[in-house]
Amino acid sequence: MANKRIDFSCPMPEFDFNTITLEHGSGGQLMHRLLEDLIFKLFANKQLDQQHDGAILQLNGSVAFSTDSYVVSPIFFPGGNIGDLAINGTMNDIAMCGAIPKYISLGLIVEEGLQIDELWKVLESIYRVVKSYQIEIVTGDTKVVERGKGDKLFINTTGIGEVLPRAKIGIEQIREGDHVLVSGNIGSHGMAVMSVREGLEFKTSLQSDTQYIGDISAQLINTFGDKLRFMRDPTRGGLATVLNEITSKNNMSIELEDQLIPVLPQTRSACELLGLDPVYVANEGVFVAVVAHDIAETVLMMMRSFHKCADAAYIGKVTSNFPKKVIVKSGIGGKRVIPMLIGEQLPRIC
């Protein structure tokens, strides 16, 4: 959750129904009431108040633009829900371009039968994030689909942000000898969601790490400029996927040290139990940074000064020893490849 918590005590508007039906998506009276009372009042701003299908925006300099669809199941999980995930996720994608997110769109695809109070809880979480980071929801869309044609609620968000003048982020900026850092414990989000997934429920104190990390990345860019070569938040596919994306696009290798990759003991245990590898598990509030080796220590110190990056760590470096491969050195001295994942990680039989 965001650093600056907003006291949120806005009560849910009263409705004479408690379930979303197809009629709420029909464009008629019911839909109008739903949007008016749930969306427009909550997220009111100059753009949204126009109740237009689009928005006219003022931006300076280069613009970063990103879209993502959120289909997480279940929609509520320890540490968050599909709402804050959808805002944090897209804002983080903008931030990883070296930009500050300014505006966001909100598209809801609601399955018939969703309870109004569930929708309200999701919107409430969205409200908290956008207020905390002064992002405006400037346009959106709501559709209702028949029961069985969705999974309670899907959300699409598209974000726009202003690129910071000193940002020079890209795989092509990466040099041999650069250090690879990660801003926190990996795998927490994926395992927290799995812990409440149907047929797999297990008791854990794990929480999703869903959070906005753009405030930290912005400070790093403003301080270190082009010495900050590359940033990416390793969401679906995890740390391994992001690192493989880097090595597949240049001729370098990344050599990691297994012992240095930060993973919470609960995540490690859950992964052991299910036969999964934490490097492939999704994250929602962590980023990987590749930085020039001479600033690595200072970058780490700056990251750790933020509560949400307290466990930031150096995990390895860029080399030319194993072109196009990500290699991890085990504690006992053996080496292995971390390949790109084929499809989903499959739980093993025994």
Partner 1 sequence: MKYLDEYRDVAIVKRYLEKLHRITTRNWSIMEICGGQTHSLVKNGIVDLLPEKITMVHGPGCPVCVTPVELIDKAIQIAHRKDTVLCSFGDMIRVPGTSGSLLKAKAEGANVRVVYSPLDAVKFANQNPGKKVVFFAVGFETTAPVNALSLLQAEQLGLKNYFMLTSHVLVPPAMDALLQDKESKINGFLAAGHVCTVMGTKQYLPIVNKYKVPIVISGFEPVDLIQGLLKCVDQLERGESKLDNQYARVVNKEGNLEARRLIDEVFEVVDRSWRGIGVLVNSGLGIKEKYRHLDADNNYKSEFAGSVEDDGCMAGLILRGLRKPRQCQHFGKLCTPENPLGAPMVSSEGACAAYYNFSYV
Neighbours of 185 (CB within 10 A): 24
Any contact of residue 327 with partner 1 (CB under 8 A)? yes
Q: Does 269 interact with partner 1 (rule: CB under 8 A)?
A: yes
Tell the smallest beta-carbon distance from residue 75 to partner 1 (Å): 21
Q: Residue 321: exposed, middle, or buried by beta-carbon count in 10 A (0-12, 13-18, 19+)?
A: exposed
From the list 92-100, 165-173, 291-299, 334-342, the region that binds partner 1 by CB under 8 A is 334-342
Q: Which stretch binds partner 1 (CB under 8 A): 50-58, 122-130, 147-155, 341-349?
A: 341-349
Give dist(CA 290, CA 223) in Å, integer: 15
Contact between 336 and partner 1 by CB under 8 A: the answer reads yes
Amino acid identity for residue 332 in this structure: I
38 DSSP assignment: I
3-state secondary structure of 270: helix
Task: Pick the closer one to partner 1 by CB: 27 or 343.
Answer: 343
What does the angle CA 215 – CA 268 – CA 206 come to, to the nearest 5 degrees?
55
What φ, ψ does residue 48 adopt, rounded to 5°?
-65, -35
Torsion of CA 136, 107, 6, 263, to 10 degrees: -110
User: Could you please report the per-residue DSSP string of 195-226?
Assistant: TTSTT--------------HHHHHHHHHHHGG
Q: Which x/- pattern over 187-216 shows residues binding partner 1 (rule: CB under 8 A)?
A: ------------xx----------------
Considering CB under 8 A, how many residues would be counted as binding partner 1? 28
Segment contacting partner 1 (CB under 8 A): 77-85, 175-183, 231-239, 270-278? Answer: 270-278
Among 166, 236, 268, 293, binds partner 1 (CB under 8 A): 268
Q: Which stretch binds partner 1 (CB under 8 A): 87-95, 139-147, 282-290, 323-331?
A: 323-331
Count the alpha carbons within 13 Å of 47 in the hemisphere toward its beta carbon. 17
Residue 274 CB, nearest distance to partner 1 (Å)?
7
Instruction: For residue 334, state whether it binds partner 1 (rule: CB under 8 A).
Output: yes
Q: Looking at 68-76, 108-116, 242-250, 320-328, which segment touches partner 1 (CB under 8 A)?
A: 320-328
Interface positions with partner 1 (CB under 8 A): 199-200, 265, 268-269, 272, 274-275, 322, 325, 327, 329-337, 339, 342-343, 346-350
